[in-house]
Structure 1
Amino acid sequence: MASHGRLDVLVNNAGIVVRGEARDAARRIFQTNVIGYISVTEAFLPLLRQAPKPRLVFLSSSLGSLTHASNPESKYYASRATEYRAATAARNMIMNQ
C-alpha cells in the first residue's frame, strides 16, 4: 500500500467442499465460500476505491446456478454437494450487488 496506494483488481477465488453432517458442512462451507469473500472484499475496499477503474472478480461455478438446479435437462439438476451449491448461489447473489 505504501508504494502504490491502490488496488486495481481483487480476485476472490477461495472455496472448500466439506463432507459430513449437513449443518456442520454448510456452516464451514458458507464461512469460507461466502463470508470469506465478503471479509476479503471489505478489507480491500479502501484500496480498491483509490483505483481509477477498480475491478472486483468473484470466481464461481455452474453448480450455483438456480436455472441449472431447476432444469431436469441440465447435467447439474441432480448434482450432489447441496451445501456447496447453496453457498455458490449465495456468493453469486452477493456478486451482483
Structure 2
Amino acid sequence: MIDLLIIGGGPAGYVAAERAAHNGLNVVLFEKKAMGGVCLNEGCIPTKTLLYGAKIYENALHGDKYGVFGDNIRFDYGKMLSRKKKVVRKLVSGVESK
C-alpha cells in the first residue's frame, strides 16, 4: 500500500520523500526529468561549477599581483564541461541513493 505520492524530484520533493520514508511511510516519487530538479541539473550547480573554473582562470591570469607567475595560461572549455557533468552526476547519484 502506498501512503504518499510525491510529484517532483526537486529539493522539496526528494527531501519530503526521504523524511516520509524515514518515518515509516511507503512513498512513491514521480519525476519526469532528472532527480534533483532544475537547480541541481541545469541551474545553480552547473552554473556555479563553470563560474568556479572561470574564476580560477581569471586568478591565474592576474596572479602577478600576488607574486604568482605562469606562462601560457589557457583554459580548456571541454574539460570545464566534463568537470561540470561529473559534479552534477555525483550530486544526482547522491540524491538517487537516498
The TM-score with structure 1 as length reference comes to 0.31
Higher relative contact order (CA 8 A, sep 6+): 1
CA radius of gyration, larger in: 2
Which structure has the highest helix share of the two?
A: 2
* TM-score normalised by length of structure 2: 0.31
